[in-house]
Amino acid sequence: MTDYFLNGFIKKSLAKSTSNAGPYGKTVPAKDCINGFPISRYAGYGVNAWEVLYSIWVANQTTIGAKFTNAQAKNGAPGGTPLCIGPENIFVIRHGEKNSSSDGNYKLNNNGIYRACQLIEYVNKLATAGTPISYIIVCNPCAYNTENPTMRPQQTMAFTSSMLNIPMFTYGGSQDYDILTDKLFNSGIFDGLNVFICWEHTAIQQLCLNILNAAGIKSRLNNITEGTDGKPEWYGDAYFATYSTPDNLCPGGNYLCNDINNIYYTDNTKLIRPGSTGLPPCIGPNSMYYPYWNTHNFESVYWFKSSSSSEYKFTFKTTKEPILTCYSNCELIVGLYQPLNPQCNSGNKYYDSSNDIENECLPPTNWLSNN
């Protein structure tokens, strides 16, 4: 996607219930959307649509991503002595756009599929920039009869995996962090390579913390001062604070979690204290720097970045996919720890349905309730 092409995009006007609704991203031009989704430009193939799909696959075999995959497979990557233990770079994204729960959100909607198709080009751009992807990792789906059924991460990455021949691995569900981090840093499979992870957004913060802590054990983090609480110097929640930069923060500043005794979580029926559910509290003195993922944001990329110039020590960077759909993403990025429900349940929020600030893309100044 060239700069010339990007210049043709405009911001789609949005009808929000408050004049203070905050930052939304650009979309494809309204003329290229119908009913809120991109227009399909290849109608009429009917049962022969597979011919189009086959032609797309053939075309992609000449791209840098597919050529890199084939070269690695031929040479038995990583080959020789890996430059570091664990991946050199880790990219983490959320799945693509989905429908609302009332419309059935097991799979991606048309915007999400549009995004998934463009991820092929994004992964090729990563290869051109010097970080070619060797493996894709997603979490297991949740079944139809669960509270939050989903195949969205797999569907988001399926086109990229198939078209560029990149292996796609699954290590447990969205909260099976220990399984994933063990494979990343102890299996040898990923040593010295670049990995692309697609995950459920409410579990991404804890995934990032676990990746940091697993990396620290392998001396992949620079030492920082955490205090006298007995935690290692590279402990994850302080690491986000160290590598937080202005572009990671909400325009309104940082937002610290209040004392745990004043925080209430919702189970969609009533407000409950966290101590009665076993849910994790807001953790760590640096929770204001955690990369909170707004439920209406599908374009962020979290990058655990390293190279020979940094002696393969990770830094943390946020960026965006160079992808536009007919959905205008909330671009609010604010550090606030998002607690977890049991796996395959809807994610917890800091507010009740009468004060759904997140839906307005606003800073969480009023998310806590003591009523």
Predicted local confidence at residue 212, as pLDDT:
93
Residue at 178: amino acid letter: D
Residue 347's nearest CA partner among 206, 178, 145, 136 is 206
| Residue-wise DSSP of 118-173 | HHHHHHHHHHHTT----EEEEPPPB-TTSSS-B-HHHHHHHHHHHHHT--EEE-SS
Look up residue 266 and give its two tokens: 């919702």
Specify the 3-state DSSP secondary structure of 210: helix
Could you give the strand order of the β-sheet that contains 135-138, starting from the edge strand earlier in sequence? 168-170, 135-138, 194-199, 89-94, 300-305, 315-320
Specify the 3-state DSSP secondary structure of 306: coil
Q: How far is CA 197 from the centre of its chain?
A: 8
Residue 343's nearest CA partner among 204, 206, 137, 147 is 147
Buried b (16+ CB within 10 A) or exposed e, 86-95: bbbbbbbbbb
**Hey, where are the domains in the chain?**
3-262+276-339
Predicted local confidence at residue 366, as pLDDT:
52
The answer to pTM > 0.75 is yes
Residues 269 and 285: beta-carbon distance below 8 Å? no
Predicted local confidence at residue 268, as pLDDT:
39
Residues 125 and 168: beta-carbon distance below 8 Å? no
* Fold of the domain built from segment(s) 3-262+276-339: Rossmann fold (3.40.50)
Predicted local confidence at residue 221, as pLDDT:
94
Residues 295 and 201: beta-carbon distance below 8 Å? yes
Look up residue 39 and give its two tokens: 């227009």
Predicted local confidence at residue 283, as pLDDT:
54
Residue at 278: amino acid letter: G
Predicted local confidence at residue 215, as pLDDT:
96
Determine which helix (DSSP H) or strand (DSSP E) holds 205, and give its type and residue range.
Answer: helix 204-217
| pLDDT tens sequence for the chain (371 residues) | 333 322 332 323 333 334 445 689 999 999 999 999 999 988 777 778 888 899 999 999 999 999 999 999 988 877 677 889 999 999 999 999 998 776 778 999 999 999 999 999 999 999 999 999 999 999 999 999 998 899 999 999 999 999 999 999 999 999 999 999 999 999 999 999 999 999 998 899 889 989 999 999 999 999 887 666 677 888 887 888 787 655 555 444 455 544 444 444 444 333 344 443 333 445 556 666 777 788 889 999 999 999 999 999 999 988 999 999 999 998 876 666 666 778 998 876 666 566 667 777 876 655 444 33
Look up residue 64 and give its two tokens: 């840098």
Distance between CA 130 and CA 63 in Å, rounded?
14
Classify strands 194-199 and 135-138 as parallel, antiparallel or unpaired.
parallel
Predicted local confidence at residue 4, as pLDDT:
32
Distance between CA 158 and CA 136 in Å, rounded?
10
Predicted local confidence at residue 230, as pLDDT:
73
Largest CA distance in the chain: 67
Buried b (16+ CB within 10 A) or exposed e, 152-177: bbbbbbbbbbebbbbebebbebbbbb
Distance between CA 106 and CA 141 in Å, rounded?
9
Residue 111's nearest CA partner among 321, 359, 362, 324 is 324
Predicted local confidence at residue 34, as pLDDT:
95
Residues 184 and 208: beta-carbon distance below 8 Å? no
Predicted local confidence at residue 65, as pLDDT:
97
For residue 108, what is the DSSP state? B
Q: How many CB atoms are closer than 10 A to CB 364?
A: 20
Residue 235's nearest CA partner among 223, 243, 218, 244 is 223
